[in-house]
Structure 1
Amino acid sequence: MLSWEYPPVLVGGLGRHVHALATALVRAGHDVTVVTRYGEHADGTPAALDEVVEGVRILRAPQDPPMLPLTTDTLLAWTMSLNHSLTRAALVAGGEYDVVHAHDWLVNHAAVTLKHHHRVPLVATVHSTEAGRHRGWLPAELNRSIHSIEWWLTYEARRVLVCSADMRWEVSRLFELPAAKTQVVRNGVDPQAFAAAPADVRAQREKHAPDGPMVLYAGRLVFEKGVQDLLDATVALRERHPGLRVIVAGDGPHAEDLKDHAEHAGVGKDVDFIGFAGPRDLPALYAAADCLVVPSRYEPFGLVALEAAAAGTPVVASRVGGLAEIVEDGVTGLSFPPGDVAALTEAVSSVLSDELLSRRITAAAHELVLNRYGWDDIAEATAGAYAKAAGDERAMRVRALPTLDIPEGNLLSRDA
């Protein structure tokens, strides 16, 4: 299994997904090796280059020179360097494998190399797409380059896994995949991992919102996550709910822009940007909040909605992508059209004002988590995809890539 993030390196939901899936596969009796990039623990101590944790063998590849920063301008060069080090780490460690499982385009070159080296099938999980993040458009050369790598990944893969029915439509449309090649395998959550100690919950509440409601956002700070819409909604919410605090937990390239946005909207004093919240703090943050808001403009799945539900926090989410399959309006949460600030405001205000509603949707969402999103079931479905991939392709052949022609316009228009 290849992933550009894995504990202790966590950037978003992908790393948590790979960790939970790998450990669940081990519990089911499979041998799992994760090849990922090197990182340090929260206390600054280096993570081991080769170790077994929770039954998973983890190979961590240090960054090769030149020491490139991870920025938009250097992203492709950084990714190529990463793939070189991942490939070397995997080949040096040796081992025999039945399948290679790649998570997103950032590890594609290493995954394809290992697939052909070991002559085993490749399974790819597409967690999001470049065109999807840009509402169907590929506005610049970098976007088109990433799209071409995503296309190559799905071409080389025997099975393409996605986290929602909406994502299945998206990848099938973008990469012209036959229906038999794609499979929905949902994300999951471990409810026990989000059972915070009462003392930790009280500490988070007293720290962030001692005098009024606490509204939480948790996720990356990028445009498609819609944090700007929550900031605009805060203007009305603070008038309706005195003492309200909006806590933004996360980091990303738009962090400074969003802080400026809050100031210009006049809510800078009502919003706290607390940076990335790790697995030690996140459960207590969820439980301390009166409401989690997921205002995404684009969201293949929406793992934070499941995590908040597991922690017993009511969820307000935009009606987009995989979120629409988790948050049923008025049943397991409240939803609103993406980008609709007025509807977002009303939904959050309803949760904060109506305690019976809040309790009802929270209980229903928690029941949904227990019945539908357990990692053991997800691991079983993933193992089934491995078996199908192996059955479809017993021996690998090197094939020439066909020419990729990227059409102009919106690639995800549903009217076309």
Structure 2
Amino acid sequence: MKVMIVSWEYPPVVVGGLGRHVHHLATELVAQGHDIVVLTRRPTGTDAVSHPTTDSRVDGVRIVAVAEDPPEFEFGHDMMAWTLAMGHSFVRAGLKVIGGERNSPESSAWVPDVVHAHDWLVAHPAITLAEFFDVPLVSTIHATEAGRHSGWVSGRTNRQVHSVEWWLASESDSLITCSASMRDEVTRLFGPDIPDVSVIHNGIDIRTWPFAPRRTRSAPAELMFAGRLEYEKGVQDLLAALPRIRRSHPGTTLTIAGTGTQQDWLIEQARRHRVTKAVRFLGAVDHEGLVALMHRCAAIVLPSRYEPFGIVALEAAATGAPLVVSTAGGLGEAVTEATTGLTFAPGDVAGLATAVRAALGDPAASATRAVRARERLTEEFSWGEVAERTAGVYLAAKRRVRHPIGRPHIPERPLPERDPGQSD
């Protein structure tokens, strides 16, 4: 099939796990014989002079990376305007570069069989291009604005994002989520008139996350967190639990790899809990650095309060790092309690401390669970399996009859009281 994938992230422009997901999916689809074009963007804050649009082929995938238009929008301050401007540039590239010059007999137009959108930021171009080419629109919903904010979308920007997510879900001909919990969330938020939702877990290329058996520890344990430093990732709960962990396991340290809007607030939380000297904030860490940290740590702790899937858990499991994770969303599906890792309820600081203590108190059992976790990866989470199932969704998708739709009803209720570090 000819597939146009539309994503605001694609290497080297990667903000989070979405970029890696789209990259692995695209390359595996090509390996299985499909013709893939990825429509993506150049780095934020650039322009057509410094970073012009490129049209290249990498690993068999044709990548059209679109230059930013000159109007000055900043994602952090003008998110919706910036997103609309990006979408406009994507549409022009999709029509001109990918579609070819339709009025020119010398031009060879590339027309997709399906358009695949990844998240709300590309809703406008994906919907427009699917309509223009008159082909099915498949959308993967990786997360929702309501989910990131405990179910509420009372802020102005929150409501705008939610309404675009609802529109994308309503205009799609088939939907994909990365976990059963996300399927239920999407159905609850955007149903009942949305199309069928298929659950296709994220995958992992275990070749890039080499396994290393756990070594016998003589020094104090080192815990690790890897991910974005945002409120929903729950790092504040891990910092709150660290004093309890250190009482039963003196000298335990925590290494935090990642960046995000909450970093300064989390540093303050470390001071508040008097664990500053036991915590290292490394900032962004490259792939080799992450692998080295995972090989070295006594356990990786992922305390998410909201997690559509949690691909870091797969990456850590591939390296042999013992898993201690919350049961939020997809994490609860990816990790089986006492079999492939230890779990605790989201936001439960006492439960988090208990689970980490159990992992540190029996290193042999932790190592055994880590081996089981890696074995499960090769069976259930290969990118080959993900691509094959995604192609099945493409083949089954049929363009639905369109009817005018009104604006969504969004309850105007306040967000629950939150910690001061949580962003809108």
Q: Fold conserved (TM > 0.5)?
A: yes
Residue from 322, 326, 329 that aligns with 1:321: 329
User: Residues 189-229 of structure 1, C-alpha deviation per residue, up to 9 Å, x if partnerless?
Assistant: 1111101799xx99xxxxxx995312111111111110100
Residue from 90, 93, 96 that aligns with 2:94: 90
Unpaired runs of at least 5, structure 1: 203-208, 412-416
The Cα of 1:328 is off from its aligned counterpart by 1.2
The Cα of 1:279 is off from its aligned counterpart by 2.7
**One-letter amino acid of the structure 2 residue matched with residue 154 of structure 1:** A
Identity of aligned residues (%): 46
Distance 1:340 1:99 in 2: 43
**One-letter amino acid of the structure 2 residue matched with residue 120 of structure 1:** V
Partner of 1:414: none
Residue from 23, 28, 40 that aligns with 1:24: 28
Instruction: Say whether the 8 Å CA contact 2:173–2:195 is kept in structure 1.
Output: no
Instruction: Say whether the 8 Å CA contact 1:211–1:244 is kept in structure 2.
Output: no
Correspondences of 1:85-234 after superposition (within 5 Å): 85-94=89-98, 95-177=110-192, 181-195=196-210, 211-234=219-242
Residue from 45, 49, 53 that aligns with 2:54: 49
SS in 1 for 2:277: coil
Distance 2:18 2:268 in 1: 28
Distance 1:179 1:145 in 2: 19
Partner of 2:16: 12
**Pairing 1:3–2:7 present:** yes
The Cα of 1:408 is off from its aligned counterpart by 4.3
Partner of 1:307: 315
Instruction: Say whether the 8 Å CA contact 1:22–1:32 is kept in structure 2.
Output: yes
Instruction: Say whether the 8 Å CA contact 2:175–2:195 is kept in structure 1.
Output: no
Instruction: Say whether the 8 Å CA contact 1:39–1:47 is kept in structure 2.
Output: no
Q: Tell me: CA distance 1:274–1:381, structure 2 relative to 1, closer, same or farther (3 Å).
A: same
Distance 1:180 1:398 in 2: 12
The Cα of 1:261 is off from its aligned counterpart by 1.1
Deviates more, 1:402-411 or 1:298-307: 402-411
Correspondences of 1:60-99 after superposition (within 5 Å): 60-71=65-76, 73-94=77-98, 95-99=110-114
Instruction: Say whether the 8 Å CA contact 2:182–2:330 is kept in structure 1.
Output: yes
Distance 2:174 2:192 in 1: 10
User: Residues 38-65 of structure 1, C-alpha deviation per residue, up to 9 Å, x if partnerless?
Assistant: 139xxxx979721111111111112222
**One-letter amino acid of the structure 2 residue matched with residue 3 of structure 1:** S
The Cα of 1:283 is off from its aligned counterpart by 2.1
**Pairing 1:404–2:419 present:** no
**One-letter amino acid of the structure 2 residue matched with residue 195 of structure 1:** P
Distance 1:238 1:355 in 2: 16
Q: Tell me: CA distance 1:197–1:356, structure 2 relative to 1, closer, same or farther (3 Å).
A: closer
User: Residues 136-170 of structure 1, C-alpha deviation per residue, up to 9 Å, x if partnerless?
Assistant: 11121111110000000011110010011111110
**Pairing 1:273–2:281 present:** yes
The Cα of 1:236 is off from its aligned counterpart by 1.9
How many correspondences in the alignment?
394
User: Residues 302-339 of structure 1, C-alpha deviation per residue, up to 9 Å, x if partnerless?
Assistant: 11111100111111011121111111111110000111
Unpaired runs of at least 5, structure 2: 45-49, 99-109, 416-424
Give 4+ residue runs of structure 1 displaced > 6 Å after superposition: 45-48
**One-letter amino acid of the structure 2 residue matched with residue 2 of structure 1:** V
Instruction: Say whether the 8 Å CA contact 1:97–1:118 is kept in structure 2.
Output: yes
Distance 1:253 1:285 in 2: 23
TM-score (norm 2): 0.88
**One-letter amino acid of the structure 2 residue matched with residue 303 of structure 1:** I
Distance 1:51 1:185 in 2: 28
User: Residues 8-41 of structure 1, C-alpha deviation per residue, up to 9 Å, x if partnerless?
Assistant: 112111111111111110111001111111139x
**One-letter amino acid of the structure 2 residue matched with residue 248 of structure 1:** I
Partner of 1:354: 362
TM-score (norm 1): 0.89
Distance 1:20 1:234 in 2: 35
Q: Tell me: CA distance 1:48–1:78, structure 2 relative to 1, closer, same or farther (3 Å).
A: closer
Q: Tell me: CA distance 1:235–1:162, structure 2 relative to 1, closer, same or farther (3 Å).
A: same
SS in 2 for 1:36: strand
Distance 2:308 2:323 in 1: 17
The Cα of 1:242 is off from its aligned counterpart by 3.1
The Cα of 1:74 is off from its aligned counterpart by 1.6
Partner of 2:349: 341
